[in-house]
Amino acid sequence: MSIHISNISKSYKNVKALQDISFDVKAGELFGLIGPDGAGKTTLFRILTTLLIANEGTATVAGFNVVSDYKNIRNSVGYMPGKFSLYQDLTVEENLEFFATIFGTTIEENYELIKDIYVQIEPFKARRAGKLSGGMKQKLALCCALIHKPKVLFLDEPTTGVDPVSRKEFWDMLKRLQQKNITILVSTPYMDEAALCDRIALIQDGKILEIDTPEAIVKHYPKPIYNVSANNMYQLINSLNAYKHNHSVYPFGEFVHYTDNRTDFNPEDLKVYLESKNLSNINIDKTVATIEDTFMELAK
Protein backbone atom coordinates (compact mmCIF):
# COMPACT_ATOMS: atom_id res chain seq x y z
CA MET A 1 0.00 0.00 0.00
CA SER A 2 1.68 3.18 -1.10
CA ILE A 3 -0.79 5.73 0.20
CA HIS A 4 -3.24 5.00 2.97
CA ILE A 5 -5.77 7.63 3.95
CA SER A 6 -8.19 7.04 6.77
CA ASN A 7 -10.98 9.38 7.91
CA ILE A 8 -9.16 12.62 7.11
CA SER A 9 -11.04 15.85 7.88
CA LYS A 10 -9.83 19.42 7.60
CA SER A 11 -11.62 22.73 8.22
CA TYR A 12 -10.57 26.32 7.69
CA LYS A 13 -12.55 28.55 10.06
CA ASN A 14 -16.11 27.56 9.14
CA VAL A 15 -15.37 26.00 5.77
CA LYS A 16 -15.14 22.22 5.73
CA ALA A 17 -12.46 21.61 3.12
CA LEU A 18 -12.34 17.83 3.60
CA GLN A 19 -14.89 15.62 5.30
CA ASP A 20 -14.03 12.10 6.39
CA ILE A 21 -11.90 11.10 3.41
CA SER A 22 -10.65 7.50 3.23
CA PHE A 23 -9.00 5.62 0.37
CA ASP A 24 -5.90 3.64 -0.52
CA VAL A 25 -3.55 3.89 -3.45
CA LYS A 26 -1.64 0.74 -4.34
CA ALA A 27 2.07 0.73 -5.10
CA GLY A 28 2.68 1.49 -8.76
CA GLU A 29 -0.83 2.75 -9.36
CA LEU A 30 -1.81 5.85 -11.37
CA PHE A 31 -4.60 7.25 -9.26
CA GLY A 32 -6.71 10.25 -10.31
CA LEU A 33 -8.47 12.69 -8.02
CA ILE A 34 -11.15 14.24 -10.19
CA GLY A 35 -13.11 17.29 -9.13
CA PRO A 36 -13.72 21.00 -9.80
CA ASP A 37 -11.89 23.94 -8.21
CA GLY A 38 -12.63 24.19 -4.51
CA ALA A 39 -13.42 20.48 -4.13
CA GLY A 40 -10.57 19.99 -1.64
CA LYS A 41 -7.99 18.40 -3.92
CA THR A 42 -5.17 20.76 -3.05
CA THR A 43 -5.91 20.53 0.67
CA LEU A 44 -5.61 16.74 0.52
CA PHE A 45 -2.34 17.02 -1.41
CA ARG A 46 -0.94 19.41 1.15
CA ILE A 47 -1.83 17.04 3.98
CA LEU A 48 -0.21 14.08 2.22
CA THR A 49 2.94 16.04 1.43
CA THR A 50 3.16 17.11 5.14
CA LEU A 51 2.61 20.80 4.43
CA LEU A 52 -0.64 20.84 6.37
CA ILE A 53 -1.91 18.91 9.40
CA ALA A 54 -5.38 17.39 9.28
CA ASN A 55 -7.91 18.09 12.07
CA GLU A 56 -8.88 14.43 12.24
CA GLY A 57 -7.81 11.11 10.80
CA THR A 58 -4.49 9.55 9.86
CA ALA A 59 -2.58 9.00 6.66
CA THR A 60 0.59 7.22 5.62
CA VAL A 61 2.64 7.75 2.46
CA ALA A 62 5.21 5.12 1.41
CA GLY A 63 4.78 3.57 4.86
CA PHE A 64 5.49 6.78 6.81
CA ASN A 65 2.98 8.61 8.96
CA VAL A 66 2.36 12.11 7.58
CA VAL A 67 2.62 13.69 11.03
CA SER A 68 5.26 11.75 12.97
CA ASP A 69 7.50 10.70 10.07
CA TYR A 70 7.23 13.85 8.00
CA LYS A 71 10.99 14.07 7.44
CA ASN A 72 11.11 10.65 5.79
CA ILE A 73 8.15 11.51 3.59
CA ARG A 74 9.81 14.65 2.32
CA ASN A 75 12.73 12.56 1.07
CA SER A 76 10.60 9.94 -0.61
CA VAL A 77 7.91 11.94 -2.37
CA GLY A 78 7.94 14.33 -5.29
CA TYR A 79 5.40 17.14 -5.35
CA MET A 80 4.39 19.34 -8.25
CA PRO A 81 2.08 22.07 -6.94
CA GLY A 82 -0.69 23.52 -9.07
CA LYS A 83 0.92 26.90 -9.45
CA PHE A 84 4.16 26.95 -11.41
CA SER A 85 6.59 27.00 -8.52
CA LEU A 86 10.01 27.06 -10.08
CA TYR A 87 12.31 30.06 -10.19
CA GLN A 88 11.27 31.99 -13.27
CA ASP A 89 14.52 33.95 -13.29
CA LEU A 90 16.79 30.89 -13.21
CA THR A 91 17.50 28.88 -16.34
CA VAL A 92 16.15 25.40 -16.96
CA GLU A 93 19.45 23.83 -15.98
CA GLU A 94 19.89 26.03 -12.89
CA ASN A 95 16.45 25.11 -11.62
CA LEU A 96 17.12 21.43 -12.03
CA GLU A 97 20.53 21.70 -10.37
CA PHE A 98 19.03 23.65 -7.49
CA PHE A 99 16.42 20.99 -6.76
CA ALA A 100 18.98 18.20 -7.12
CA THR A 101 21.24 19.96 -4.62
CA ILE A 102 18.60 20.50 -1.97
CA PHE A 103 17.80 16.80 -2.09
CA GLY A 104 21.52 15.97 -1.82
CA THR A 105 21.81 14.44 -5.26
CA THR A 106 23.02 15.39 -8.74
CA ILE A 107 21.40 15.50 -12.17
CA GLU A 108 23.76 12.75 -13.39
CA GLU A 109 22.85 10.37 -10.56
CA ASN A 110 19.18 10.11 -11.51
CA TYR A 111 19.44 11.07 -15.13
CA GLU A 112 17.96 7.74 -16.26
CA LEU A 113 14.63 8.59 -14.62
CA ILE A 114 14.21 12.01 -16.15
CA LYS A 115 16.00 11.35 -19.44
CA ASP A 116 12.81 10.82 -21.46
CA ILE A 117 11.39 14.14 -20.38
CA TYR A 118 14.57 16.13 -20.09
CA VAL A 119 15.72 15.50 -23.66
CA GLN A 120 12.64 17.41 -24.83
CA ILE A 121 13.62 20.55 -22.93
CA GLU A 122 17.40 20.14 -23.12
CA PRO A 123 17.70 22.33 -26.23
CA PHE A 124 16.38 25.19 -24.09
CA LYS A 125 18.46 24.48 -21.01
CA ALA A 126 20.08 27.92 -21.04
CA ARG A 127 16.72 29.67 -21.26
CA ARG A 128 15.09 31.17 -18.18
CA ALA A 129 12.17 29.16 -16.87
CA GLY A 130 9.89 32.20 -17.05
CA LYS A 131 10.36 32.35 -20.83
CA LEU A 132 9.23 28.78 -21.49
CA SER A 133 5.85 27.91 -22.98
CA GLY A 134 3.17 26.33 -20.77
CA GLY A 135 3.92 22.78 -21.88
CA MET A 136 7.67 23.23 -21.42
CA LYS A 137 7.23 24.61 -17.91
CA GLN A 138 5.18 21.57 -17.07
CA LYS A 139 7.93 19.25 -18.24
CA LEU A 140 10.58 21.13 -16.32
CA ALA A 141 8.47 21.09 -13.16
CA LEU A 142 8.02 17.34 -13.56
CA CYS A 143 11.79 16.85 -13.94
CA CYS A 144 12.38 18.86 -10.78
CA ALA A 145 9.84 16.78 -8.87
CA LEU A 146 11.54 13.59 -10.04
CA ILE A 147 15.18 14.53 -9.57
CA HIS A 148 15.54 12.77 -6.19
CA LYS A 149 13.94 9.53 -7.42
CA PRO A 150 10.78 9.65 -5.30
CA LYS A 151 8.68 6.56 -4.57
CA VAL A 152 5.45 8.52 -4.72
CA LEU A 153 4.68 11.44 -7.02
CA PHE A 154 1.99 14.01 -6.24
CA LEU A 155 0.80 16.10 -9.17
CA ASP A 156 -1.71 18.83 -8.36
CA GLU A 157 -3.59 19.85 -11.51
CA PRO A 158 -0.56 19.47 -13.79
CA THR A 159 -2.59 20.03 -16.96
CA THR A 160 -4.66 23.07 -15.97
CA GLY A 161 -4.27 25.82 -18.52
CA VAL A 162 -2.24 23.63 -20.87
CA ASP A 163 -3.31 23.02 -24.47
CA PRO A 164 -4.46 19.58 -25.71
CA VAL A 165 -1.19 18.71 -27.40
CA SER A 166 0.88 19.31 -24.28
CA ARG A 167 -1.74 17.60 -22.17
CA LYS A 168 -1.53 14.47 -24.22
CA GLU A 169 2.26 14.45 -24.08
CA PHE A 170 2.10 14.93 -20.33
CA TRP A 171 -0.15 11.93 -19.81
CA ASP A 172 2.08 9.80 -22.03
CA MET A 173 5.00 10.71 -19.77
CA LEU A 174 3.03 9.73 -16.68
CA LYS A 175 2.28 6.33 -18.18
CA ARG A 176 5.98 5.75 -18.78
CA LEU A 177 6.89 6.84 -15.26
CA GLN A 178 4.38 4.41 -13.87
CA GLN A 179 6.31 1.57 -15.51
CA LYS A 180 9.34 2.63 -13.48
CA ASN A 181 7.47 1.70 -10.31
CA ILE A 182 6.52 5.15 -9.20
CA THR A 183 3.15 5.54 -7.55
CA ILE A 184 1.36 8.59 -8.94
CA LEU A 185 -1.50 10.55 -7.40
CA VAL A 186 -2.73 13.16 -9.87
CA SER A 187 -5.57 15.64 -9.55
CA THR A 188 -7.46 17.27 -12.41
CA PRO A 189 -10.64 19.20 -13.03
CA TYR A 190 -11.01 17.62 -16.50
CA MET A 191 -13.33 14.66 -16.58
CA ASP A 192 -11.93 13.47 -19.90
CA GLU A 193 -8.57 12.80 -18.27
CA ALA A 194 -10.16 10.35 -15.82
CA ALA A 195 -10.19 7.55 -18.38
CA LEU A 196 -6.37 7.66 -18.46
CA CYS A 197 -6.05 6.65 -14.78
CA ASP A 198 -6.04 3.15 -13.28
CA ARG A 199 -8.51 4.17 -10.63
CA ILE A 200 -10.18 7.45 -9.84
CA ALA A 201 -11.89 9.17 -6.94
CA LEU A 202 -14.59 11.69 -7.78
CA ILE A 203 -14.50 14.53 -5.27
CA GLN A 204 -16.75 17.56 -4.71
CA ASP A 205 -17.23 19.91 -1.75
CA GLY A 206 -14.71 17.99 0.35
CA LYS A 207 -16.50 14.67 -0.02
CA ILE A 208 -15.63 11.61 -2.08
CA LEU A 209 -18.53 10.75 -4.37
CA GLU A 210 -17.19 7.46 -5.70
CA ILE A 211 -13.96 5.47 -6.02
CA ASP A 212 -13.40 2.86 -8.71
CA THR A 213 -11.85 2.18 -12.09
CA PRO A 214 -13.09 4.58 -14.79
CA GLU A 215 -14.80 1.71 -16.62
CA ALA A 216 -16.66 0.56 -13.51
CA ILE A 217 -17.74 4.07 -12.60
CA VAL A 218 -19.54 4.72 -15.87
CA LYS A 219 -21.22 1.31 -15.59
CA HIS A 220 -22.69 2.42 -12.29
CA TYR A 221 -24.76 5.01 -14.11
CA PRO A 222 -28.32 4.05 -13.16
CA LYS A 223 -30.35 5.07 -16.23
CA PRO A 224 -30.24 4.87 -20.00
CA ILE A 225 -28.95 8.14 -21.51
CA TYR A 226 -30.19 9.65 -24.75
CA ASN A 227 -28.46 12.06 -27.08
CA VAL A 228 -31.09 14.56 -28.16
CA SER A 229 -30.56 17.12 -30.88
CA ALA A 230 -32.83 19.55 -32.76
CA ASN A 231 -32.67 22.65 -34.90
CA ASN A 232 -32.54 25.12 -32.00
CA MET A 233 -30.40 24.27 -29.03
CA TYR A 234 -31.75 26.86 -26.63
CA GLN A 235 -35.39 25.98 -27.26
CA LEU A 236 -34.53 22.32 -27.03
CA ILE A 237 -33.01 22.77 -23.57
CA ASN A 238 -35.96 24.85 -22.39
CA SER A 239 -38.49 22.35 -23.73
CA LEU A 240 -36.71 19.40 -22.14
CA ASN A 241 -36.43 21.25 -18.83
CA ALA A 242 -40.17 21.87 -19.00
CA TYR A 243 -40.96 18.22 -19.78
CA LYS A 244 -42.55 16.76 -16.69
CA HIS A 245 -40.92 13.32 -16.95
CA ASN A 246 -37.32 14.49 -17.16
CA HIS A 247 -34.75 13.23 -14.68
CA SER A 248 -31.77 15.20 -15.96
CA VAL A 249 -31.09 17.55 -18.89
CA TYR A 250 -27.50 18.54 -19.60
CA PRO A 251 -26.07 20.10 -22.73
CA PHE A 252 -23.19 18.02 -24.05
CA GLY A 253 -21.52 19.63 -27.02
CA GLU A 254 -23.84 19.43 -30.02
CA PHE A 255 -26.30 17.22 -28.11
CA VAL A 256 -28.31 17.30 -24.93
CA HIS A 257 -27.93 14.31 -22.61
CA TYR A 258 -31.37 13.38 -21.44
CA THR A 259 -32.57 10.82 -18.88
CA ASP A 260 -36.17 10.04 -18.07
CA ASN A 261 -37.65 9.18 -14.70
CA ARG A 262 -39.98 6.50 -16.08
CA THR A 263 -38.86 2.90 -16.42
CA ASP A 264 -40.89 2.35 -19.60
CA PHE A 265 -39.64 5.42 -21.44
CA ASN A 266 -40.33 5.46 -25.17
CA PRO A 267 -38.25 7.99 -27.18
CA GLU A 268 -41.16 8.42 -29.61
CA ASP A 269 -43.23 10.08 -26.84
CA LEU A 270 -40.50 12.62 -26.35
CA LYS A 271 -40.24 13.25 -30.08
CA VAL A 272 -43.93 13.98 -30.27
CA TYR A 273 -43.65 16.35 -27.31
CA LEU A 274 -40.71 18.20 -28.85
CA GLU A 275 -42.49 18.50 -32.19
CA SER A 276 -45.42 20.05 -30.34
CA LYS A 277 -42.91 22.70 -29.17
CA ASN A 278 -42.19 23.62 -32.81
CA LEU A 279 -38.80 21.94 -32.92
CA SER A 280 -37.64 20.16 -36.07
CA ASN A 281 -34.77 17.87 -37.13
CA ILE A 282 -35.26 15.97 -33.91
CA ASN A 283 -32.90 13.06 -33.24
CA ILE A 284 -33.04 10.88 -30.16
CA ASP A 285 -30.42 8.17 -29.85
CA LYS A 286 -29.27 6.03 -27.00
CA THR A 287 -25.71 6.75 -25.86
CA VAL A 288 -23.28 5.57 -23.20
CA ALA A 289 -22.68 7.47 -20.00
CA THR A 290 -19.40 9.35 -19.53
CA ILE A 291 -17.51 10.06 -16.32
CA GLU A 292 -18.99 13.54 -16.45
CA ASP A 293 -22.56 12.18 -16.55
CA THR A 294 -21.77 10.02 -13.54
CA PHE A 295 -20.19 12.92 -11.71
CA MET A 296 -23.21 15.14 -12.27
CA GLU A 297 -25.61 12.37 -11.27
CA LEU A 298 -23.69 11.81 -8.03
CA ALA A 299 -23.25 15.51 -7.29
CA LYS A 300 -26.91 16.26 -7.90
Partner 1 sequence: MKNNNVIQVEGLTKMFGDFTAVNAITFEVKKGEIFGFLGANGAGKTTAMKMLIGISNPTSGKANVAGFDVFTHAEDIKKSIGYMSQKFALYDDLTVKENITFFGGIYGLSRKRIKEKSAILIEELGLEKVANKLVGALPLGWKQKLSFSVSMIHDPKIVFLDEPTGGVDPITRRQFWEMIYKAANQGTTVFVTTHYMDEAEYCDRVSIMVNGKIEALDTPKQLKAKFEVDNMNDVFLKLARG
267 binds partner 1 per the rule CB under 8 A: no
Among 11, 58, 65, 204, indicate the residue that binds partner 1 (CB under 8 A): 204
Query: At how many degrees (to 10) do helices 267-276 and 233-242 cross?
Result: 110
108 binds partner 1 per the rule CB under 8 A: no
232 binds partner 1 per the rule CB under 8 A: yes
CB of 134 to partner 1, least distance (A): 4
Among 234, 268, 276, 280, indicate the residue that binds partner 1 (CB under 8 A): 234
207 binds partner 1 per the rule CB under 8 A: no
123 binds partner 1 per the rule CB under 8 A: no
Long-range contacts (CB closer than 8 Å, 24 or more residues apart) made by 80-87: 80/141, 80/142, 80/144, 80/145, 80/153, 80/154, 80/155, 80/156, 80/158, 81/45, 81/156, 82/42, 82/156, 82/157, 82/160, 84/137, 84/141, 85/141, 86/129, 86/137, 86/140, 86/141, 86/144, 87/129
272 binds partner 1 per the rule CB under 8 A: no
16 binds partner 1 per the rule CB under 8 A: no
171 binds partner 1 per the rule CB under 8 A: no
Q: DSSP 3-state assignment of 280?
A: coil
Site residue total, partner 1 (CB under 8 A)? 36
Among 233, 242, 272, 288, indicate the residue that binds partner 1 (CB under 8 A): 233
CB of 141 to partner 1, least distance (A): 15
CB of 78 to partner 1, least distance (A): 24
Pairing of strands 246-252, 255-260: antiparallel
39 binds partner 1 per the rule CB under 8 A: yes
Contact 46, 79 (CB under 8 A): no
298 binds partner 1 per the rule CB under 8 A: no
143-178 per-residue burial string, b: 16 or more CB within 10 A, e: under 16:
bbbbbbbbbbbbbbbbbbebeeebbeebbebbeebb
Residues that bind partner 1 (CB under 8 A): 35-39, 133-135, 160-166, 168, 189-192, 204, 232-235, 237, 250-254, 292, 295-296, 299-300
